[in-house]
Structure 1
Amino acid sequence: MRKKVVSVILCVAMIAAMVVGCTTKSPTSGGDDKKDDEKKDSYKVGISIQSLKNDYWAGVMGKLEELLKDKGWDYTLQDCSNNSATQISQVENFITSGCDLIMVHPSDADALETVCQQALDEGIKVMCWDDPMENTTANWILDNTALGNKIGATAAAFINEHYTADKPAEVCVIGKPSTKVLLERANGIKEGLEENCDKGNYKVVAEVDGLEANEAQTNVETVLQANPDCSIFVGVGAGAMIGSNEALLQKFGGAGNIPENYGVITTDVTPQQLESLQAGDEAVRAIIGFEGSSLDTATACMEMYERILDGEDFSGDKHNVERPTMEINLDNIEDIMKGM
């Protein structure tokens, strides 16, 4: 009898063990404990950009910080000083700190691909501003060649109004060829000039660096010493416009003295650019902008954050989200200035 009782107990124990074994979940792989599309009231965001010395970036990031604070989100904004090694380290720190979203404005997009893949492997969303990267959730980009074409075409309209083949305009192109997207933009400017200028009424006499205003001003002053008749300055950003405009103001003794056939045409949108355009007595003749004001751009960026964090599908052809461009002129400048 005792043997039968022992046998029954052993059978019950074995069955219980089998039930437990069948209902125990196997360990999950790393990163699965973070739900990809889980909606939360607050998120943690890491942002690494090329440089806050750039007036355009400083303005937009200031407005973006205001929006992030209003949302109550935790964020870290860092400037990599155009150094890819520094930027990689910043992204690594964002991964370690457990960010929900990382945004990069790459100094060197190719150099960031590996570390951005590491972020994706950890279940972190990654957004790139400007470059069509591979290892991201989504890229928020400009067609930089097309943007350059538009700058060149706008400058060509000004050149066609003031210059002929008998008296061609001398043009200086201000860029940053070491940065891929800015090289594309500068090449686009030259294409736009070539396609839209009247035959023989311009010649490019200089190409210089000038992403930041002080660098652009110094280099334009050097160009003016070597080419005193250089009168048209086209560039890839705000620094090119602010620096070259200041160099021309100094050359001619201040606002109101700039000849009507001198002009500066670039992209980006900063208060200083808008004020110079609105004044009407400086060298700034046109700006090719994006969403509008700094606040408009920051708001559009914040909307991208929310779309990504809400789990929108950006695979395949939807991976690159192109930003719009617009010409800023006296008809719309007042509304734009309100959001700066």
Structure 2
Amino acid sequence: MKKKVLSVILSVAMVAALLVGCTTKSPVKEDEKDAEKKDSYKVGVTIQSLENDYWAGVFGEVEKMLKDKGWDYTIVDCKDNSATQISQIENFITAGCDLIMVHPSDPDAVEDVCKQALDAGVKVMCWDDKMENTTANWVLDNTELGITIAKPAADFINEHYSADNKAEVCVIGYPQTPILLERENGILEGLKGAEGKYEVVAQIEGLEANDAQTNVETVLQAHPNCKVFVTIGAGSDIGANQALLTKYNGNIPEDCGIFSGDATEQQMRAIKSGKEASNTTVGFEGSNTRTAKACVGMYEKILNGDDFSGEKHNIFRPFVVINADNVDEYLADYDKK
């Protein structure tokens, strides 16, 4: 009888051991689970405006890359309205996003809602502004960028103008956005490289191409000899270029030029043609594709838990000056498609 009971106990023990063996996950399977989790994220992106040529181009490429990764994503713009942007961020929190990227209309206005996101366990990346309530900020030194934009303009003025024949210069900015005001002030500083050979006859607004074109046409009516335009970015470059092409019936004088930032495909093709007013543009990674790749790379670093504390909180982007000498290198990114 004792042998029979012992046999039953041993049988039960063996079955229990088998069951434990079937339900315990091996280290390899656990690793596979972690890898699967890291391969798929939910990302919410809110941009100032998708009417802007530069942002629209970059985030068109970002969308393709996120789609290829199989990530769940939403990309929206706030029409440069802070209340709309706050609501969008709140919706991203409610939707359970792993990462929110905010390109602020007004960084101060979205600090509180970004803190709510962090408190909810959502990682937050800011494009362009040095915000406090973020995981990381992807930013530019906008004063230095403005100086870099203006240096080729100053060189151009020194080549084509003199103290007795001063260049009439128009600076196109967007001062209601703090970082773009910094960029505009940098442009004014950089122009001093042609001290005594120019006069700024107009400072106008022009974030989007249509507005810039209209405002440049007004400047040209008041200052028909204004031929040097130094701008904060793509929209103002494209709008000014169209206004000048119209004024000169497509025959741009050699002492007329536009100097800008952003380096969109349209700007670079205008530079390459050699027949338009666009002369030099300063890009940040070099093309929409390169910028999108760098941006998505930032998403990955943040989601993978890279350290962005302290001095690492602000990640500064590089500049590249693009002109007729090197434009083909960057246009090649578009020609591959």
After TM superposition, the score normalised by the length of structure 2 is: 0.87
2:19 aligns with none
2:202 aligns with 206
* Separation in structure 2 between the aligned mates of residue 131 and residue 205 of structure 1, nearest angstrom: 30
Which secondary structure does the structure 2 equivalent of 1:339 belong to?
helix
Which secondary structure does the structure 1 equivalent of 2:38 belong to?
coil
* Separation in structure 1 between the aligned mates of residue 312 and residue 125 of structure 2, nearest angstrom: 13
Deviation per residue, 1:210-246 (Å, 9 max, x gap): 0000000000000000011111000101011100111
From 61, 64, 83, the equivalent of 1:63 is: 61
Structure 1 residue 93 displacement after superposition: 0.1
* Separation in structure 2 between the aligned mates of residue 337 and residue 147 of structure 1, nearest angstrom: 21
Name the % identity: 65
- Which residue identity does 1:155 align to in structure 2? A
2:78 aligns with 80
1:120 aligns with 118
Deviation per residue, 1:168-189 (Å, 9 max, x gap): 0000000100001100000000
From 235, 238, 242, the equivalent of 1:242 is: 238
2:330 aligns with 336
- Contact 1:84–1:111 (CA<8 Å) still a contact in 2? yes
- Contact 2:212–2:239 (CA<8 Å) still a contact in 1? yes
1:141 aligns with 139
Structure 1 residue 279 displacement after superposition: 0.3
Count of aligned residue pairs for this structure pair: 300
Structure 2: gaps spanning 5 or more residues: 1-34
* Separation in structure 2 between the aligned mates of residue 170 and residue 239 of structure 1, nearest angstrom: 21
Structure 1 residue 330 displacement after superposition: 2.8
- Contact 2:265–2:287 (CA<8 Å) still a contact in 1? no
From 297, 304, 329, the equivalent of 2:298 is: 304
- Which residue identity does 1:270 align to in structure 2? T
- Contact 1:289–1:327 (CA<8 Å) still a contact in 2? yes
* Separation in structure 1 between the aligned mates of residue 84 and residue 201 of structure 2, nearest angstrom: 36
2:10 aligns with none
Structure 1 residue 281 displacement after superposition: 1.0
1:102 aligns with 100
- Which residue identity does 1:225 align to in structure 2? Q
Deviation per residue, 1:35-70 (Å, 9 max, x gap): xx9952200000000001001111100100010011
* Separation in structure 2 between the aligned mates of residue 142 and residue 187 of structure 1, nearest angstrom: 14
Deviation per residue, 1:140-197 (Å, 9 max, x gap): 0000000001111111011100010101000000010000110000000000012x11
Aligned ranges for residues 176-191 of structure 1 at < 5 Å? 176-191=174-189
- Which residue identity does 2:298 align to in structure 1? M
Structure 1: gaps spanning 5 or more residues: 1-36
**What RMSD in Å do the two structures reach over aligned CA positions?**
1.2
Structure 1 residue 329 displacement after superposition: 2.2
* Separation in structure 1 between the aligned mates of residue 166 and residue 242 of structure 2, nearest angstrom: 23
- Contact 1:39–1:309 (CA<8 Å) still a contact in 2? no
* Separation in structure 2 between the aligned mates of residue 262 and residue 147 of structure 1, nearest angstrom: 22
- Which residue identity does 2:234 align to in structure 1? A
* Separation in structure 2 between the aligned mates of residue 244 and residue 188 of structure 1, nearest angstrom: 20
Off by >4 Å, runs of 4+ in structure 1? none
* Separation in structure 2 between the aligned mates of residue 75 and residue 284 of structure 1, nearest angstrom: 35
* Separation in structure 2 between the aligned mates of residue 330 and residue 68 of structure 1, nearest angstrom: 33
- Contact 1:39–1:310 (CA<8 Å) still a contact in 2? no
Point out the structure with the larger helix share.
2
Which secondary structure does the structure 2 equivalent of 1:291 belong to?
coil
Structure 1 residue 332 displacement after superposition: 2.7
After TM superposition, the score normalised by the length of structure 1 is: 0.87
2:310 aligns with 316
* Separation in structure 2 between the aligned mates of residue 51 and residue 138 of structure 1, nearest angstrom: 21
* Separation in structure 2 between the aligned mates of residue 39 and residue 201 of structure 1, nearest angstrom: 61
Aligned ranges for residues 215-294 of structure 1 at < 5 Å? 215-254=211-250, 257-294=251-288
- Contact 2:244–2:252 (CA<8 Å) still a contact in 1? yes
- Contact 1:174–1:234 (CA<8 Å) still a contact in 2? yes
